[in-house]
Structure 1
Amino acid sequence: MSVYVQNFLKFRPLLKELVTRDIKTKYRRSILGVLWTLLNPLLMMLVLSVVFSHIFKFQVENYPLYILSGQVVFNFFSESTSSAMSSIIQNAPLIKKVYIPKYLFTLSRVASSIVNVMASFCALIVVMIFSDVELNFTVLLLIVPMAILIVLSTGVGLLLATIAVKFRDIIHLYGVLITALTYLTPVIYPISILSPKIRFFVELNPLTGILNMFRNLMLYNTLPTLGQLLISSVIAVGTFLFGLFVFYKSQDKFILNI
């Protein structure tokens, strides 16, 4: 285990450079640049709030904040896993030329998404301030569900990156899966309106537990229960270890397929 830690520390400067490159590439030739990461969730919040609050009449207090908090969690998962999925394929020329631990390319995509989600979180704070919503000490504990989310996203990203090397169709299929996952995650609707059968499937979604913890801490000043923490943590760590195992077992064959 110490060998892997030392290897990671050795290539840590490279990971920093990869993250910087990914962020610059994403916002290249963009007038607004990183500011767009702040504006995008705000604009989506306005559109979704108008559509769903007036058409479906959801009885949710501070519904715009409800949506925005859901977007912070779900958009990070969607962006980090989608970009991580193509990390090996897009860096094929570099992988063929020199030895670099291949997991660094996947980690850099997740890390660059962390930078983006910080901007989205700032947007959430701004909206809360202008909405006169009280910021409590529980906001400081948001690092817990976000850490669980990062671990889960990294595991899924490693797994998707491995699959995408051999089966490129997963890149197109994943867009459909993310769309389906959007409706299986209570981002725009309260889970209380669902029928028991549908609610069962929504609660099976690991993002639901993480999102509920995030919202309860951010909006309702409610601490998660020990059971919620354990279930979400076990799923996230289990997914990460499984994704890392599959990635490690397959990485030597990447060169044959990229």
Structure 2
Amino acid sequence: MADTATTSSASVSPYAKTERDKNRFILKQLVTKDFKLKYRRSVLGVVWSVLNPLLMMVVMSIVFSFLFSNGIENFPLYLILGNITFSFMSDSTSAALTSFLDAAPLLKKVKISRFVFPVQKVLFALVNFAFSLVAVAIVMLWFRVMPTWHLIWLPVCLALLIVFCIGIGLVIGSLAVFFRDVIHLWSVILTAWTYLTPLFWDFQLLIDKGAPLWVIGIVKANPMYGFVTFMRDIFLWNQSPSPEIIALCAIWSLAMLALGIIVFRKTQHKFILYV
């Protein structure tokens, strides 16, 4: 009996390993392809991934520093950290939104794990995010904000954010196959989400202005509030994220991934009929 179990396990393991290797290879190829396409015939190339957050920071600092800074020290750094964190989410999910539709020719010709397409979009956004961190380093040097050991929390923040974005990508990507209106709706949701998240304004302003408790509760429950605060804690405030922030990020990440997997598994077998 034991020999049978061992033989069964041995027969499954190589296949599973081969499937993982295949998916890993496909992910690498797709990310490389997107990277080349994005910067093809661009004179500055990846430098744009550094310049873009810097330019946005300068413009928003000029516009909002007198209105919403609320006495925040190093307000430009506060801005750029919020912007690149939110942009990672918005860019990755917007790309994952049409990932199954864009892969239609491949899905119709090759037997491939459909799961890799939204994951690939999130990983590509992570590459651009890494370049954005160079812009953050430049701003930190400019304002003489020295990094501390609290940056060891960065992999935790990124891991949770990646899981969160993959979950969203699976949900909206699957729904977009059947309902194209989701593509237009998501852009509206992202716009509203931008203003709901304290990117260029300080959360303390809500309290100072006497905002209703339900408004404060909605903002604090906003998952991107948690991730943005996480980033600012370790880069700007030089402190470890609070247990509340870590719990908020972890709960949202796991909940979205679970929801994404459920929606994806219930719909993926019909993709080929609608893409």
Give the TM-score taking structure 1 as reference length. Answer: 0.95
Structure 1 window deviating more from structure 2 (135-144 vs 222-231): it is: 222-231
Deviation at 1:69, TM superposition (A): 0.5
2:91 is the counterpart of 1:74: no
What percent identity do the matched residue pairs reach? 41
Q: Where do 1:199-214 residues align within 5 Å?
A: 199-214=216-231
- Please state whether the residue corresponding to 2:71 is helix, strand or coil: coil
Distance 1:200 1:5, change over 3 A: farther
Output the amino acid matched with 1:78.
S
Deviation at 1:198, TM superposition (A): 2.4
Task: Give the structure 1 partner of residue 41 of structure 2.
Answer: 29
2:121 is the counterpart of 1:109: yes
Q: Matched residues in 2 for 1:129 and 1:175: separation?
A: 35
Deviation at 1:30, TM superposition (A): 2.6
Q: Any conservation in 1 of the 2:58–2:76 contact (CA below 8 Å)?
A: yes
Q: Any conservation in 2 of the 1:89–1:165 contact (CA below 8 Å)?
A: yes
- Please state whether the residue corresponding to 2:72 is helix, strand or coil: coil
Q: Say how many residue pairs are matched.
A: 258
Q: Any conservation in 2 of the 1:41–1:71 contact (CA below 8 Å)?
A: yes
The CA RMSD measured in Å over matched residues stands at 1.7
Show CA shifts across 1:9-62 (max 9, x none).
Answer: 332111100111112222233332221111110000000000001244531110
Unaligned 5+ residue runs, structure 1? none
Q: Any conservation in 1 of the 2:69–2:200 contact (CA below 8 Å)?
A: no
1:229 is matched with which residue: 241, 246, 266?
246
Q: Matched residues in 2 for 1:227 and 1:41: separation?
A: 28
Show CA shifts across 1:123-181 (max 9, x none).
Answer: 10111012111211111221111111111011001111101101111111211110100
Task: Give the structure 2 partner of residue 147 of structure 1.
Answer: 159
Task: Give the structure 1 partner of residue 185 of structure 2.
Answer: 173
Q: Any conservation in 2 of the 1:87–1:105 contact (CA below 8 Å)?
A: yes
Output the amino acid matched with 2:222.
N
- Please state whether the residue corresponding to 1:54 is helix, strand or coil: coil
Output the amino acid matched with 1:13.
F
Deviation at 1:241, TM superposition (A): 1.5
2:258 is the counterpart of 1:246: no
Q: Matched residues in 1 for 2:165 and 2:31: separation?
A: 16
Which is greater in Rg? Answer: 2
2:28 is the counterpart of 1:11: no
Task: Give the structure 2 partner of residue 96 of structure 1.
Answer: 108
Output the amino acid matched with 1:65.
L
1:128 is matched with which residue: 136, 140, 165?
140
Distance 1:234 1:182, change over 3 A: same
Q: Any conservation in 1 of the 2:221–2:248 contact (CA below 8 Å)?
A: no
